[in-house]
Amino acid sequence: MSAVLEVRNLSASIAGQQVVEDVSFTVPATGVTAVLGRNGVGKTSTIKAVLGLIDRTGTVLLDGEPIDREPTHRIVRRGVGYVPEDREVFTGLTVEENLRLAVRDREPRRDLVEALFPDLVRRSAQRAGTLSGGQQQMLSMARALLNRNRLLLVDEPTKGLAPKIVTELAVALEEAARTVPILLVEQNLQVIERLAQDVVVIDGGRVVHAGPAADLLGDEAAVRRYLGVHAEEPGAAPPRTHRTAEEARP
Ligand SMILES: Nc1ncnc2c1ncn2[C@@H]1O[C@H](COP(=O)(O)OP(=O)(O)O)[C@@H](O)[C@H]1O
Ligand SMILES: [Mg+2]
């Protein structure tokens, strides 16, 4: 299958410290590819390096065209949507104002967004700062989905949210993935099992495993080694400590 994104030998540093080291992977043109790994291993940095938000070296191809020398705004204009880890909605603005500010296309996909997030329609006049964490996450996703993107980068959308909201978000992501390929940073194994075809596991800034999601989830020892959890534990998610990858290693 053709790849929408091809990352080759990507390295990146933050404040002089290398946080992404020689990372290579591809994202198929359909479905969900999950990026996983313990806290602090470089998942967010990898996404930011793809977007040019942090200094990077290496090759990044979007539909076969290099984007690794381009500034972030051009990459976004080429059709790369981003739902950041900390949601980044404008808290002082209403839901509707947040959506309107996100529109890039001449004909935004209002119907899709309203079908996926009916709660946001009901809350269109509400200030985003007064939404729950889950509702803010939905707003952040809605902002990205309004535009016709070639690829969506979604960073830990379910982090810190209640199980019911996690399920709602997973359903929305599943629907969204029918319209756009998604590279999803996610630590919730149930969500990965439900959504992801392929996985890329990062540890210490490097790719330590890549392949079909089912293969990884079926390998209890590998899941424990990479994430420190049991795949079959209900609601299993890696411990949310702030250990570095080095400290987290057994
Ligand atoms: N703004 C920053 N300043 C300094 N170090 C950072 C910054 N952001 C991330 N890092 C460091 O980069 C490494 C990778 O972080 P990150 O990519 O956020 O990991 P993950 O998303 O996998 O939790 C960590 O060691 C983290 O401490
Ligand atoms: Mg992160």
- The C-alpha atoms of residue 114 and residue 228 are separated, in whole angstroms, by 38
Is the CB–ligand 1 distance for residue 48 below 6 Å?
no
Q: Is the CB of 40 under 6 A from ligand 1?
A: yes
Ligand 2 (ion): residues with CB under 5 Å are 43-44
Tokens at 241, concatenated: 């400590």
Ligand 1 touching residue 43 (CB < 6 A): yes
Report the predicted TM-score, pTM, of the whole model to 2 decimal places.
0.89
Q: Which ligand is nearest to the CA of 156?
A: 2
Beta strands 206-212 and 17-28: pairing type?
Answer: unpaired
Output the tens digit of pLDDT for each of the chain's 250 residues.
689 999 999 999 999 899 999 999 999 999 999 999 999 999 999 999 999 999 999 999 999 999 999 999 999 999 999 999 988 899 999 999 999 999 999 999 999 999 999 999 999 999 999 999 999 999 999 999 999 999 999 999 999 999 999 999 999 999 999 999 999 999 999 999 999 999 999 999 999 999 999 999 999 999 998 887 655 554 444 444 444 444 444 4
Report which DSSP code applies to 249.
-
What residues pair up with 60 in beta bridges, in sequence order? 7
